[in-house]
Structure 1
Amino acid sequence: MAITHNRDFEPHYGKCVWVAPAIRRVVAQNPNAFTFTGTGVYLIGTGDVAVVDPGPSLPVHLDAIEACLLPGETITHILVTHTHTDHTAAVPDLATRTGAHTYGFGPHGPVSSDDPLERLDFSDHISPEEDAAFAAEWADLPEELKREGPDTTFVPEVVVGHEPADSKGVSGLLTAANWTVQVIHTPGHTSNHLCFRLLNDGTGKSALFTGDHVMGWATSVISPPDGDLFAYLASLERLLLGSDDYYLPTHGPVIDDPAPYVRSIIDHRNDRTEQIVDLLAGGTHRVVDLVPQMYADVDKRLWRAAGNSVYAHLLALAKEGRAEGANGTTAITASWHLT
């Protein structure tokens, strides 16, 4: 089943945009192939305010977050959906500025190997000229915006999301004078990913802050060893236990009528698995051979990220006994075949 993405979004960099009476948004000016138009930082409530995913540690961005406060308001909570630096780099600075406490599931899980042999090499599919152009684009970015990827330094002051999930998938509750937020553990994109449900956005509607778990502009990347396809699919099913009126991803626009969209993501992931099975039925393939066939219409800058997701699908097939790497290995660089 095809997913209908929505990329119609005006970031209004540095401006305070009221999404609902109890929700404000400030978008950081850190756009790239992975963050879309940049990191959207949400402020929840009035009076005692919670900030979801502070974003990059750019002074002008931190100033914009604080400028979004009304007179007499204080940031008391910093909620972290997961530990990628485009979400968390500003946490220490914002906590120092405001005295707010930090809340999250825990530190980042295991990261992929730095061994050059474990890196995906698309040189057979990306020309030297394209590769040089991509490298030049990266070199032109400010150093702070190059800090994309796992944040292995973040440790929350308050650990949340570890309680046994109830019938709606909720694993904790956070409250202040003017807001109540449910905590939902949603591993898959990362093992420590959380979603936060604001029970009343000021109009009586329920809003779910989905981080990178569900985005409207693109599908999420699943990067082993910390990312896991089975966990991701189970987390999507967990969201369907709720009845949220809309989702607010950290990147991109609001997702209205989210349940059908979530189902389309589940269908899409299952279709990707079967696409890989069909390709492997024709012979042995490496990840770097599968990606150009599966993502021919996707920006090549995203191919390595897509390769991680393909690898997650292969590992899932291996767990099911349907595929394996050469000589029984499960390396990302292995040649894979059906069993």
Structure 2
Amino acid sequence: MIPFVRELDFQYGRCDRVSPRIRRVIADNPGPFTYLGTGTYIVGEGEVAVIDPGPDLPAHLEALLAALGNERVMHILITHDHADHSPLAAALSAATGAKVWGRSRQPRGQIPAGFDDEHDDAFRPDFEVEDGEVFEGPGWTLEAVPTPGHTSNHVSYALKEENALFSGDHIMGWSTTVISPPDGDMAAYFESLDRVKASGFATLWPTHGPPVTDPQPFIDAYIAHRRAREAQVLAALAEGPTTIRAMVPVLYVAVDPRLHPAAAHSLLGHVVQLVGEGRVISDGPPGVETVLRLA
């Protein structure tokens, strides 16, 4: 079982100090995929970095600017271009003069029928973040750690002074993350989980929900959960050909039905990986209605 952490003391728009070098302001955009809302992080004092400005909500921009006061924003860092993470970057950049750093999305194939696209298609970073790129300010150092899987352009940021990682949606304390092809990639996700685990961070700060303060067993449980889901797909196909639509309510019977569309996304991620590995055969491009069978 994944040892989820879900309790969080907060108020929308309030700036909370959550560590010696980190403050957080949570946007009022709760939902089945955003949990309590998007947590925007301010790193440092006086000269700061802002991570994941969040959705384009005027009230959230006002709260961020109030929290920043007269401080200088040196960098606006984006983990990925989903609509709850990056849209406010342009307005925050205009208000502060800071440049936006992130990764452009890789070209994608056609989105399968029955799946929603939650990308911020207007997102264009001023600068492309490179693996290992360093951002510095008084008393703080951030290093870019690409973590593709949830999206092709997902990047986390390590705060060296606190041995912490701002993990975006790559690892979240309250829930598993969605791996949705064609932009999401399950094989890349497993590799990224291994990279984060090997780094030995003391704390993970997801964009949604509370921090993960014991990352190693949490990541182990995350990986075990994905492998178990993979085994469930293979077991379902061992009983005969079927589709993702038919598998979701069976494999996710304990999950809130509102999350079944997201579950279908992640199930598709597993199927694409298994097809790529030659363990599953798909009667056409994998999709929600495509008939699947064991190889």
**Shared fold, TM over 0.5:** yes
CA distance in 1, matches of 2:21, 2:285: 51
- TM-score of the superposition, structure 1-length normalised? 0.83
Matched with 2:55 is 56
2:187 is the alignment partner of 1:226: no
Unaligned runs of 5+ in 1: 121-146, 164-170
Matched with 1:235 is 192
Matched with 1:313 is 270
2:197 is the alignment partner of 1:198: no
Unaligned runs of 5+ in 2: none
- Residues 158, 166 of structure 2: 8 Å contact kept: yes
- Residues 174, 182 of structure 1: 8 Å contact kept: yes
Distance change >3 Å, CA 69–CA 111, structure 1 → 2: farther
Deviation at 1:111, TM superposition (A): 6.4
- Residues 10, 16 of structure 2: 8 Å contact kept: no
2:173 is the alignment partner of 1:216: yes
CA distance in 1, matches of 2:121, 2:107: 8
* Amino acid corresponding to residue 114 of structure 2 in structure 1: R
CA distance in 2, matches of 1:76, 1:277: 49
2:261 is the alignment partner of 1:304: yes
1:88 aligned counterpart, secondary structure: coil
CA distance in 1, matches of 2:7, 2:109: 33
Q: Which moved more, 1:99-108 or 1:285-294?
A: 99-108
Matched with 1:46 is 45
1:159-308 alignment runs, 5 A limit = 159-161=128-130, 163=131, 171-200=132-161, 205-308=162-265
CA distance in 2, matches of 1:36, 1:304: 16
1:87 aligned counterpart, secondary structure: coil
- Residues 11, 37 of structure 1: 8 Å contact kept: no
Matched with 1:331 is 287
CA distance in 2, matches of 1:180, 1:148: 34
Say which of 117, 122, 125 aligns to 1:156: 125
Larger radius of gyration, structure 1 or 2? 1
How many equivalent pairs are there?
295
Matched with 2:104 is 106
1:102 aligned counterpart, secondary structure: strand
CA distance in 2, matches of 1:52, 1:151: 16
Distance change >3 Å, CA 214–CA 322, structure 1 → 2: same
CA distance in 1, matches of 2:38, 2:215: 20
* Amino acid corresponding to residue 192 of structure 1 in structure 2: N
The Cα offsets for residues 176-202 of structure 1, whole Å up to 9 and x where unpaired, read as: 2332101101000001000101111xx
Deviation at 1:66, TM superposition (A): 1.3
* Amino acid corresponding to residue 135 of structure 2 in structure 1: L
- Residues 158, 165 of structure 2: 8 Å contact kept: yes
Identity over aligned pairs, percent:
41
Matched with 1:21 is 20
Deviation at 1:324, TM superposition (A): 1.3
- Residues 324, 330 of structure 1: 8 Å contact kept: no
* Amino acid corresponding to residue 254 of structure 1 in structure 2: P
Distance change >3 Å, CA 111–CA 78, structure 1 → 2: farther
1:255 aligned counterpart, secondary structure: coil
CA distance in 2, matches of 1:262, 1:59: 35
RMSD: 1.7
The Cα offsets for residues 102-131 of structure 1, whole Å up to 9 and x where unpaired, read as: 111223642653x7xx216xxxxxxxxxxx
- TM-score of the superposition, structure 2-length normalised? 0.96
